[in-house]
Chains A and B, each alone.
Chain A
Amino acid sequence: MQAVPWLILAAPLAAFLVIVFGTLYARNERLSGYVSIVAMLCAAVLAVVALAGTTSATHLRSSLDWFALGSTRFTLGVLLDPLTAVMLVVVTVVSLLVQIYSQSYMAGDSGYRRYYAFMSLFSLSMLGLVLADNFLQLYIFWELVGLCSYLLIGHWYQRPAAAAAAKKAFIVTRFGDLGFLVGILVLYAWTGSFEFGAIESAVKSGALAGGTITVAAILLFAGAVGKSAQFPLHVWLPDAMEGPTPVSALIHAATMVAAGVYMVARAYTIFSASADAMLVVAIIGGFTALFAATHALVAVDIKRVLAYSTVSQLGYMMMGLGVGAYAAGVFHLFNHAFFKALLFLAAGVVIHMTGVQDLPKMGGLARKMPITAATFAVGGLSLAGLFPLSGFWSKEQILDGAMASGHTVLFALGLLTALLTAFYTARAWLLAFWGEGRVVEGDAADADVHGEHASGEPAVMTVPLLVLATAAVLTGLLGSSWLGDPFAGFLGHATEGAHGGGSVELALVSTALVIAGIGLAWLMYGSRSISAESVGATFRPVYVMLVRKYWLDDLYGWMVRVFVLALSELLLWFDKTVVDGIVNGTGWLAAAVFGRASSRSQTGVAANYGLVFFAGLLVMGLAVLVGLGR
Chain B
Amino acid sequence: MTVTLDHYLFLSAAVFAIGLFGALSRRGLVAVLLSIELMLNAVNITFVAFSRYLDVPGSDQVATAGQLSGQVFALFVIAVAAAEAAVALAIILAVYRTRRTTNIEDVNTMKW
| A236 smallest CB distance to B (angstroms) | 61
Q: Is B110 an interface residue (CB 8 A)?
A: yes
Instruction: Write out the residue numbers on chain A whose beta carbons fall within 8 Å of the beta carbon of B110.
Output: 604-606, 609
- Give chain A residues whose Cβ lies under 8 Å from the Cβ of B107: 605-606
Judged by a CB distance under 8 angstroms, whether A614 is at the interface is yes
Mark A605-618 against chain B: 1 for CB-CB distance below 8 A, else 0. Answer: 11101110010000
- Count of B interface residues, CB-CB < 8 Å: 13
Bound Cα distance A605, B111 (Å): 8
* In the bound complex, CA of A614 to CA of B24 (Å): 10
Contacts of B32 in A (CB 8 A): 607
With A614-B20, A614-B24 known to touch, is A606 a contact of B104 (CB < 8 Å)?
yes
Contact with A along B55-89 (1 / 0, CB 8 A): 00000000000000000000000000000000000
In the complex the two chains form, what is the Cα distance from A49 to B108 in whole Å?
91
Asked whether, in the complex, the Cβ of A605 is within 8 Å of the Cβ of B104, the reply is yes
Question: Contact at B105–A605, with CB atoms within 8 Å?
Answer: yes
Q: Once bound together, how far apart are the Cα atoms of A606 and B91, in whole Å?
A: 14
Quick check: is B109 within 8 A (CB to CB) of the other chain? Answer: yes
Listed residue (A599, A603, A605, A610) with the most chain B CB atoms within 10 angstroms of its CB: A605
A588-608 interface bits toward B, Cβ cutoff 8 Å, 1 = contact, 0 = none: 000000000001001111110
Closest to B110 in A: A604
The residue on B at minimum CB distance from A613 is B24
A602 touches B112 (CB 8 A): yes
Write the nearest CB–CB distance from B46 to chain A, whole angstroms.
Answer: 15
Chain B residue with the shortest CB-CB distance to A610: B24
CA distance A507 to B86 in the complex (A): 121
A607 near B104: Cβ-Cβ < 8 Å: yes
Which residues in A have their C-beta under 8 angstroms from that of B109?
604
Closest to B108 in A: A604
Query: What distance in Å separates the Cβ of A597 from its nearest Cβ neighbour in chain B?
Result: 13
Closest Cβ neighbor of B105 among chain A residues: A605
Known contacts A610-B23, A610-B24, A611-B24; is-contact A604 B104 (Cβ 8 Å): no
Which residues of chain A are within 8 angstroms of B20 by Cβ–Cβ distance? Answer: 614
CA distance A559 to B110 in the complex (A): 64
Q: How far is the CB of B88 from chain A (nearest CB, A)?
A: 12
With contacts A605-B104, A614-B20 taken as known, whether A599 is within 8 angstroms of B25 at the C-beta atoms is no
Q: Is the beta-carbon distance between A602 and B24 smaller than 8 angstroms? A: no
Please name the residue on chain A nearest to B27 by beta carbon. A607
Interface residues of B in 1-49 (CB under 8 A from A): 20, 23-25, 32
Contact indicator A605/B108 (Cβ below 8 Å): yes
Query: In the complex, which residue of chain A has the Cβ closest to the Cβ of B26?
Result: A607
Complex CA–CA separation, A163 to B104 (angstroms): 73
Report how far A599 CA is from B104 CA in the complex, Å: 20
A604 to B20, CA, bound (A): 19
Which 7 A-B residue pairs are closest in the complex by CB-CB distance? A604-B108, A604-B111, A602-B111, A604-B110, A607-B24, A611-B24, A605-B108
What are 28 inter-chain pairs, A to B, with CB distance below 8 A? A599-B111, A599-B112, A602-B111, A602-B112, A603-B108, A603-B111, A604-B108, A604-B109, A604-B110, A604-B111, A605-B104, A605-B105, A605-B107, A605-B108, A605-B110, A606-B107, A606-B110, A607-B23, A607-B24, A607-B25, A607-B32, A607-B104, A609-B110, A610-B23, A610-B24, A611-B24, A614-B20, A614-B24
> Chain A interface (Cβ within 8 Å of chain B)?
599, 602-607, 609-611, 614
